[in-house]
Amino acid sequence: MAHAAHAADTQPDTPQSRADALLARMSLEEKVGQLHTIDASGPDPVGRLGGEIKAGRIGAVINQVDPDTLYELQRIAVEESRLGVPLLVSRDVIHGFNTIFPLPIGQACSWSPELVRDCARAAAGEAAASGVRWTFAPMVDIARDARWGRIAESLGEDPYLASVLGAAMVVGFQGDGLSRPGTLAACVKHFAGYGACEGGRDYDATNIPDNELRNTYLPPFRAALKAGAASVMTSFSDIDGVPATGNPYLLGEILRGEWSFDGVVVSDWDAIGQLITHGLSADMAAAARAAAEAGVDMDMMSSAFIDQLPRLVHEGVVTVDRIDAMARRVLLLKATLGLLDDPYGAAHRSAAPARQATLDLARRAARESMVLLKNDAGALPLDLAGIGRLAVIGPMADQPYEQLGTWVFDGDQTRSVTPLGALRGALGEHRVAFAPGLETTRSRDRSGFAAAQAAARSSDVVLVCLGEEAILSGEAHCRADITLPGAQLALLDALKAEGKPVIAVIMAGRPLTLAAVLERVDALIYAWHPGNMAGPALVDIVSGAANPSGRLPVSFPRSVGQIPIHYNRKNTGRPPQAERILYIDEIQVGAPQTSFGMSAFHLDDGYTPQFPFGFGLSYTRFIYADLVVSAGEIARGETLDVMVTVTNSGERFGTETVQLYLRDPTASLTRPVRELKGFQKVALNAGERRTVRFTLGEGDLAFSGRERRFRAEAGRFDVWVGGDSTADLHASFTLRD
């Protein structure tokens, strides 16, 4: 009988030597077994998988977190298989495990790498204590289409912000070393360009020019790998006609070649088998060969590798050396994780984070993810002590599960505190009038409107919680119409008719089109799906105990017809200009055909978003002045400072996210009109003033050019600093050769 320690009896010194020692003892079939990832959910996983594990034909399991089941599966691998190689246990730990934090796109609103890191670290601690050691996160796909369900899992539309936050998430999951208690191996996904799927439809084709691929979609992956991400997951989609899972350019030339990545590459669910469906491969053998030769190490769920690779090696189609390299990477990950010494995870169980600590973090994260989008006439904050009665209305006001959002397989909704529960706790139950109005966000049954109106009529202020249920976003949950579903807009009309101030809180997994909502409310908080502690965080914000500091990581379209919309667009030869816009209602009937405005805009929706990237209101005001660059000209290798004075001119403490944008106006490739190149969160007391300093170097000016070289081109650069991507404080400088 084998044992985990027996997997390396000689006790070599390093994970690499231990992996090599194991590999040297393996048969071809055992090597290929390490490349096979299988779903362990469903009935009787031990009976179904035990024989295959004992035979060394399974290297990793997914979707099983029951401790007793995992123990028995691992025991079979360690004590009954010939070499005793432990299983790698994997799970989608996306924004929490038992304690659920805001959606990744919500966390991105914090613009805080420290917060994102801390949430990932807490999630890793909970998951590792349950036996999980590998997570399929972070997702760093650039997302510019709000129809796409997986925008909820993204970090937004900007390569720089996604790079900073994605790297922070990797550090959070992996800690100071993968063998340390409470860590998970991160898997950065989906390599690459998945967020560019046509029509915002999951799994659809992508058409990405190499310029866009390298300058927009790849930088967050590069940053995550530089932060130490242990693995990469391939995209379902294709790039220039070649599906990512069988794409030698992506996986071989760029990932393995240019970037020298030697960690594990895993396919997405059945993505190798889907090479046949794509039309790249004629059969499963051809699909297995294409994926292996492109650079995939592990096959998730298609069984292509386990069924086909041994025969392909025997036939001389795939080399043993290639199988060895693939298996060695998997074994090295297991050794680095400490699985050879602690396959049952005793060290991780004892390192589980304290429940209250994770809930406190979840409250802070939810608070910092909420974005104040409208606040007319100081409708917020509310003086809770002075309110006689508050009406709490809406289908999302008391939904402990729905507020968690997508990707919460292991989320504990008993830990949830809803907005209704928290407001009752703050005000007392007798001062809160509750009526949902609608049973669900999708309901069109208006029979609950009368009770909702009565609650509003008897109250001083109406707080209405609207949005989408969790199931309406996430993988394979894309929407063509991104307005509020069901009869929610009609509910708003009914409430507004009562003549009371209306505060709207929207919980959703994507940006929604909000023009009609904004017309009907006095204030609007975009809360995304905030996780377990949605209620207490919301009370913090609406009461003024916390000043809203969330800033949008993605542009909000005015209508679905504007999509894709993002701030870092190209200028075009005929850029839009406000003074040249002629809207559809302004066109004279019978007017002769002419090219109105001669620029890139929509007749019925202009060219600006409803809310720009980086936008977010506060209960105080921040004034920017005195933008200065330390040098008008720099040489290669030199740096310059950009300084701006920020003043809190209001009457409350607040936190401002100071954002720096750059433009290279003349280059060998057309460049975006603006690119985020730095940001700092600055906390200021009322009346306080501070000089904020950014340092720019040649690397900040660089991009991948026509010859695929990452370098800065000499010439003039424009710089703006302000509170969002429409910042108007401007300066310029020159880079000389």
Q: Which residues are catalytic?
A: 268
Q: Which residues, 6+ apart, have CB-to-CB distance to 717 below 8 Å? A: 662, 663, 664, 665, 701, 732, 733, 734, 735
Strands of 446-548, DSSP E: 461-467, 502-507, 523-526
User: What does DSSP assign to residue 598?
Assistant: G
Question: What's the token pair of residue 69?
Answer: 């089941």
3-state secondary structure of 126: helix
Question: What single-letter amino acid sits at 157?
Answer: E
Question: What's the token pair of residue 602?
Answer: 């929509």
Strand pairing category for 729-736 and 633-635: parallel
Cα dihedral: 25, 29, 34, 35 (round 10):
140
Question: What single-letter amino acid sits at 261?
Answer: F
Question: What single-letter amino acid sits at 519?
Answer: E
- For tokens 């409310």, the residue is 521
Strands of 160-205, DSSP E: 187-191
- For tokens 């980086």, the residue is 614
Q: What span, in angstroms and rounded, lies between the C-alpha atoms of 724 and 554?
A: 11
Give burial (CB, 10 Å; 0-12/13-18/19+) of 620.
buried
Q: What span, in angstroms and rounded, lies between the C-alpha atoms of 556 and 609?
A: 6
How long a stretch of residues is the chain? 737
| Listed residue (266, 202, 230) closest to 61, CA to CA | 266
Q: What span, in angstroms and rounded, lies between the C-alpha atoms of 139 and 144?
A: 14
**Does an H or E element contain 162, and which?**
helix 159-174
Q: What span, in angstroms and rounded, lies between the C-alpha atoms of 166 and 116?
A: 8
End-to-end CA distance of the chain: give it in Å, rounded: 68
Please check whether residue 426 is in contact with residue 384, taking contact to mean a CB–CB distance below 8 angstroms. Answer: yes
Phi-psi region of 241 (alpha: psi -120 to 50; beta: other; left: phi over 0): left
Please state whether the peptide bond connecting residue 138 to the residue before it is cis, i.e. omega within 30 degrees of 0: yes
Q: What span, in angstroms and rounded, lies between the C-alpha atoms of 343 and 85?
A: 9
**Does an H or E element contain 10, and which?**
none
3-state secondary structure of 77: helix
Question: What's the token pair of residue 60?
Answer: 């990793």
Please state whether the peptide bond connecting residue 564 to the residue before it is cis, i.e. omega within 30 degrees of 0: yes
Distances (CA, A) of 609 to 230, 548, 612, 720, 722: 37, 21, 6, 19, 18
Q: What span, in angstroms and rounded, lies between the C-alpha atoms of 284 and 305?
A: 9
| Listed residue (672, 695, 34, 533) closest to 306, CA to CA | 34
Task: Report the DSSP beta bridge partners of residue 37.
Answer: 60, 300
Please check whether residue 122 is in contact with residue 129, taking contact to mean a CB–CB distance below 8 angstroms. Answer: no
Question: What's the token pair of residue 530?
Answer: 């905030």
